């Protein structure tokens, strides 16, 4: 009888000790995340992976065709002598210009949620540096993401980012040659 009583007290003590009902856990309902739920970004500071697949093509052309004609004539007669003076000015101008630009970027970049707006959209910002052949390239992305556009893997495609700003800038010789300074232009003109 003593063993049954001890076993019952021991079981009751373990039940009370390990029971969550005995020790209620306080949590904030808005910020609660289950351990095994999808790991989607829901709050400031969370990280989002962005699959950037962008292609841009632009073409612009303009043509100009203008013609001007001006003439002036003076006629004068004194006694039996007549004097006529005619002068004219003609001009024409024609020209065409066109420009086209193609660009594409394909990258995977991680961005951080910086704020959540009143419509529950996640404002994101991220930047990544990549060095290729001594050229440093910086990819910057920002915009707003709807939580429902995030996959279960916390991934969003760049075409689903509202007000997206995607910049690709470079530092190095290729970029320097694209925007040469005065000395580089002078040396190039001199043949160096």
The answer to the question of residue 41 being in a domain is: no
**Residue 168 falls inside a structural domain:** yes
CB atoms under 10 Å from CB of 176, counted, come to: 13
Instruction: Tell me if the pTM is above 0.75.
Output: no
Q: Residue ranges of the alpha helices (H) in the chain?
A: 2-18, 173-178, 182-190
Map residue 41 onto helix, strand or coil. coil
131 domain-assigned:
yes
Question: What Rg value do the Cα atoms of the chain yield, rounded?
Answer: 38
Structure tokens given for 192: 């160096």
3-class DSSP state of 175: helix
The whole-angstrom separation of Cα 126 and Cα 122 is 13
The reply to whether 17 falls in a domain is: no
Range of the domain at 171: 47-57+100-190
120 assigned to some structural domain: yes
Backbone CA torsion sign across 138, 49, 52, 159: negative
- Give domain status of residue 142, yes or no: yes
Residue 73 inside a domain? The answer is no
Asked, for residue 140, whether it belongs to a domain, the answer is yes
Tokens matching residue 85: 């003076």
Please report, in tens digits, the pLDDT of each residue of the chain (192 residues total).
588 888 888 887 777 666 655 455 565 656 655 555 567 878 899 999 999 988 888 887 777 677 777 666 666 666 667 666 667 667 777 778 777 878 888 889 999 999 999 999 999 999 999 888 888 889 999 999 999 999 988 899 999 999 999 998 876 665 555 566 676 676 677 776
Total tally of structural domains belonging to the chain: 1
């Amino acid at each position: 009888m003593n063993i049954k009583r001890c076993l019952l007290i021991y079981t009751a003590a373990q039940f009370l000790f390990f029971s969550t009902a005995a020790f209620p856990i306080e949590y904030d309902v808005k910020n609660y995340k289950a351990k095994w739920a999808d790991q989607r970004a829901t709050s400031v500071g969370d990280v989002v992976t962005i699959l950037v697949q962008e292609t841009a093509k632009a073409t612009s052309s303009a043509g100009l065709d203008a013609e001007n004609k001006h003439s002036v004539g003076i006629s004068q007669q004194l006694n039996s002598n007549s004097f006529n003076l005619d002068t004219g000015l003609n001009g024409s101008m024609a020209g065409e210009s066109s420009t086209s630009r193609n660009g594409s970027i394909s990258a995977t970049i991680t961005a951080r949620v910086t704020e959540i707006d009143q419509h529950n959209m996640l404002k994101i910002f991220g930047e990544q540096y990549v060095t290729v052949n001594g050229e440093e390239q910086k990819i910057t992305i920002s915009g707003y993401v709807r939580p429902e556009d995030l996959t279960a893997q916390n991934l969003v495609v760049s075409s689903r980012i509202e007000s997206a700003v995607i910049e690709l800038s470079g530092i190095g010789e290729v970029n320097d040659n694209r925007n040469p300074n005065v000395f580089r232009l002078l040396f190039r003109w001199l043949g160096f």
